[in-house]
Structure 1
Amino acid sequence: MLSLIVFLPLAAAVALVAVPTSAGRRVFVWSWIAITAADFALVVAAWIGYDAGTGLAYEQNLRWIPSAGVGYHIGLDGLSLPLVAMTALLFLACAVYSLPNTQRIKSFVLLFLFLQTVSLGLFTALDLILFFVYFDLSIVGMYFVIAGWGHGNARQSALKFFLYTFIGSLALLLGFIGLYLAAEPHTFDIVELARANPLAGSGSYGALVLLAIGVGLAVKTPTVPFHTWLPPAHTDAPAAGSAILAGVLLKMGTYGFVRIAMPLLPDTWRHYAVVIVIIGVVSVLYSALVALAQEDFKRMVAYTSVSHMGYIVLAVGAAGILAGSDAQARSLAVTGAVTQMVSHGLLTAALFLLAGIFYDRRRTYDMGAYSGLAGPAPVFAGTTALVAFASFGLPGFSGFIAEFQIFTGSLASATVATALALLGILITAGLFLRVLHRVFLGELQVPDAPGAASGFTDLRPSEATAILPLLGLAIVIGVLPRFLLEVIEPASTTLIGLVSR
Structure 2
Amino acid sequence: MGAFPILSLMLLVPLVGAIACLFVDARLARTIALVATLVDFVLGVVLWAQFDVGGARWQFTENVALFAGFSWKLGIDGIALMLIELSVFLMPICIAASASIEKRVGEYMAAFLMVEVLIIGVFAAQDLFLFYIFFEAGLIPMYLIIGIWGGADRIYASYKFFLYTLLGSVLMLIAMLWMVNQAGTTDIPTLMETNFPLEAQKWLWLAFFASFAVKMPMWPVHTWLPDAHVQAPTAGSIILAGVLLKMGGYGFIRFSLPMFPEASATFAPLIFALSMVAVVYTSLVALVQHDMKKLIAYSSVAHMAIVTVGLFAFNSQGLDGAMIVMLSHGLVSGALFFCVGVIYDRLHTREIDRYGGLAINMPRYATFFLLFTMASIGLPGTSGFVGEFLALMGIYQMSSWVALICTTGIILGAAYMLYLYRRVVFGEQKNADAAAMPDLTRPELVMMAALSAVTLWMGVYPQSFLAPMRADIAALDARLAQARPKGDAQVTAGRPPKAESAAEAHTEEAR
**Normalization by structure 2: what TM-score?**
0.91
2:304 alignment partner in structure 1: 309
2:227 alignment partner in structure 1: 232
Aligned-pair CA distance for 1:421: 0.2
2:28 alignment partner in structure 1: 27
Match of residue 439, structure 1, among 415, 420, 424 = 424
Match of residue 65, structure 2, among 63, 66, 74 = 63
Match of residue 188, structure 1, among 178, 186, 189 = 186
Q: Which moved more, 1:272-281 or 1:397-406?
A: 272-281
CA-based RMSD of the aligned residues comes to: 1.4
CA distance in 2, matches of 1:36, 1:497: 37
CA distance in 1, matches of 2:383, 2:208: 30
Equivalence map 1:471-486=2 (5 Å)? 471-486=452-467
SS of aligned partner of 1:32: helix
- Unpaired runs of 5+ in structure 1? 320-329
Q: Deviations over 1:32-73 (max 9, x none)?
A: 1111111100110110111121211101122133x3x43222
1:127 alignment partner in structure 2: 127
- Divergent runs of 4+, >4 A: none
How many residue pairs end up in the alignment?
Answer: 476
CA distance in 1, matches of 2:361, 2:123: 42
Aligned-pair CA distance for 1:174: 2.1
1:489 alignment partner in structure 2: 470
CA distance in 2, matches of 1:87, 1:402: 19
Q: Deviations over 1:217-261 (max 9, x none)?
A: 000110000001000100010000010111111001111000111
Aligned-pair CA distance for 1:97: 1.7
SS of aligned partner of 2:62: strand
1:40 alignment partner in structure 2: 41
CA distance in 2, matches of 1:406, 1:178: 33
SS of aligned partner of 1:64: strand
Q: Deviations over 1:5-46 (max 9, x none)?
A: 122101222233333x3xxx3212122111111110011011
Amino acid corresponding to residue 435 of structure 2 in structure 1: A
CA distance in 1, matches of 2:343, 2:121: 33
Q: Is the 8 A contact 1:71 1:189 kept in 2?
A: no
Equivalence map 1:55-94=2 (5 Å)? 55-65=57-67, 67=68, 69-94=69-94
Q: Deviations over 1:91-115 (max 9, x none)?
A: 0111122245322211111111111
2:366 alignment partner in structure 1: 381
Q: Which moved more, 1:355-364 or 1:403-412?
A: 355-364
Amino acid corresponding to residue 7 of structure 2 in structure 1: L
Matched, 1:400 2:385: yes
Amino acid corresponding to residue 70 of structure 1 in structure 2: F
Q: Deviations over 1:180-204 (max 9, x none)?
A: 2331xx222111111222x1x332x
CA distance in 1, matches of 2:91, 2:18: 14
2:503 alignment partner in structure 1: none
CA distance in 2, matches of 1:270, 1:427: 29
Q: Which has the higher relative contact order, 1 or 2, with Cα contacts under 8 A spaced 6 or more apart?
A: 1
1:202 alignment partner in structure 2: 198
Equivalence map 1:249-268=2 (5 Å)? 249-268=244-263
Q: Deviations over 1:284-314 (max 9, x none)?
A: 2211111111111100000000110000001
Matched, 1:53 2:58: no
1:324 alignment partner in structure 2: none
1:103 alignment partner in structure 2: 103
Q: Is the 8 A contact 1:97 1:465 kept in 2?
A: no
Q: Is the 8 A contact 2:313 2:398 kept in 1?
A: yes
Q: Deviations over 1:130-152 (max 9, x none)?
A: 11111111111100000111112
Equivalence map 1:462-477=2 (5 Å)? 462-477=443-458
CA distance in 2, matches of 1:56, 1:405: 26
Matched, 1:10 2:15: yes
CA distance in 2, matches of 1:415, 1:273: 15
1:322 alignment partner in structure 2: none
Q: Deviations over 1:317-363 (max 9, x none)?
A: 111xxxxxxxxxx1121111111111000000111111112321122
SS of aligned partner of 2:211: helix
Cα 1:100–1:150 change in 2 (3 A) is closer
Q: Is the 8 A contact 2:23 2:106 kept in 1?
A: no
**Normalization by structure 1: what TM-score?**
0.92
Match of residue 457, structure 1, among 438, 452, 469 = 438
Q: Which moved more, 1:125-134 or 1:425-434?
A: 125-134
Match of residue 245, structure 1, among 240, 243, 246 = 240
CA distance in 2, matches of 1:15, 1:440: 42
Q: Which moved more, 1:168-177 or 1:2-11?
A: 168-177
CA distance in 1, matches of 2:52, 2:278: 36
Aligned-pair CA distance for 1:171: 2.1
2:137 alignment partner in structure 1: 137
SS of aligned partner of 1:409: helix
Q: Is the 8 A contact 2:98 2:234 kept in 1?
A: no
Q: Is the 8 A contact 1:278 1:314 kept in 2?
A: no
Q: Is the 8 A contact 1:295 1:367 kept in 2?
A: yes
CA distance in 2, matches of 1:268, 1:453: 56
Aligned-pair CA distance for 1:375: 0.9
Equivalence map 1:408-427=2 (5 Å)? 408-427=393-412
CA distance in 2, matches of 1:14, 1:369: 41
Amino acid corresponding to residue 149 of structure 1 in structure 2: W
Q: Is the 8 A contact 1:70 1:187 kept in 2?
A: no
